[in-house]
Amino acid sequence: MKVAIYSRVTEDIQPNDFLQLFEELSAHEIEVAVYEPFFNCIKNCIEYQGKLSLFNSGEELNSSFDFMISLGGDGTLLDTVILIGNKNIPVLGINFGRLGFLASIGRQELKSAVSALVNRTIVIDKRSMLHLDSNVPVFNNMQFALNEFAIHKTDISPMIKVHTYLNGEFLNTYWADGVIVSTPTGSTGYSLSCNGPIVFPDSGSFVITPIAPHNLNLRPIIVPDTHVISFEVEGRADNFICTLDSRKEMVGKGIQLAVRKESFYLSLVRLNEGNFLQTLRTKLNWGLDTRN
């Protein structure tokens, strides 16, 4: 078996946190490729007995890899989405962060998680993604996202007007700080913080959520992901912000933008005993009586 390991490089890295993972991978004689900037932070504390190599970009990942292990929170896992692209390498997220809807496997489950990979006692969820089309190049031609696309005013500009269309037919004009288009996976992210609904991962939909709308009758709307959602933006400022997950670019208000379903999926690994409902109950404390 061959796995790649990715983690962000931060000042908070504690190498001892990762010792058990490398010990388990070594015990199963798994071939490992580690993201080089991350490896340089932990190499003095890690001794790996098996075959180990390094990588620096997604171009070095290919079909020979059985899995990608993401160490961190959901933001770290979103980074791996960019590295993997359309290579269809299943991703296992180990949560070293906080909430963790995507990286839902806790650090205390490292041993059982590696064992599940080896024995293939796992479930692979196919998570739909979105694709951004534009009339000018943006995001280095990596115009896909797992969670959401967002249009947002700049920090100091007044609110903007976002004219929104479904398959070319006018839907609404949002007078707001911006608009979010989220996938079902992204419905528990930025959209949720703007009062968007939680949507099941296999629902086949997009959620359009306004950000701080000026009109009190504006509410999030769920549309089929077979639709193409296009936008025209007006505002007093010459520029506004576009985001794809954690990436952002400043663009001019004359740009043409459209969102559609991406042609490929993310393969997200979960253990057999876990599912979306269990994640919701655990992360959102549903079913608990907080009065006691």
Residues designated catalytic? 74
Which residue carries 């930025």 as its tokens? 190
Structure tokens at 88: 């269809």
Whole-angstrom CA distances from 264 to 79, 130, 140, 203 are 17, 9, 18, 16
Structural contact between residues 17 and 5, judged by C-beta atoms closer than 8 angstroms:
no
Residue type present at position 140: N
| DSSP assignment of the chain | -EEEEEE---TT--THHHHHHHHHHHHTT-EEEEEHHHHHHHTTT----S-EEEE-SGGG--TT--EEEEEESHHHHHHHHHHHTTS---EEEEE-SSS-SSS-EEGGGHHHHHHHHHHT-EEEEEE--EEEEESS--GGG--EESSEEEEE--TTS--EEEEEEETTEEEEEEEESEEEEE-TGGGGTHHHHTTPPP--TTS-EEEEEEES-SSTT---EEEETTS-EEEEEE-SSSEEEEEETTEEEEEETT--EEEEE-SS-EEEEEETT--HHHHHHHHHTTT--TT-
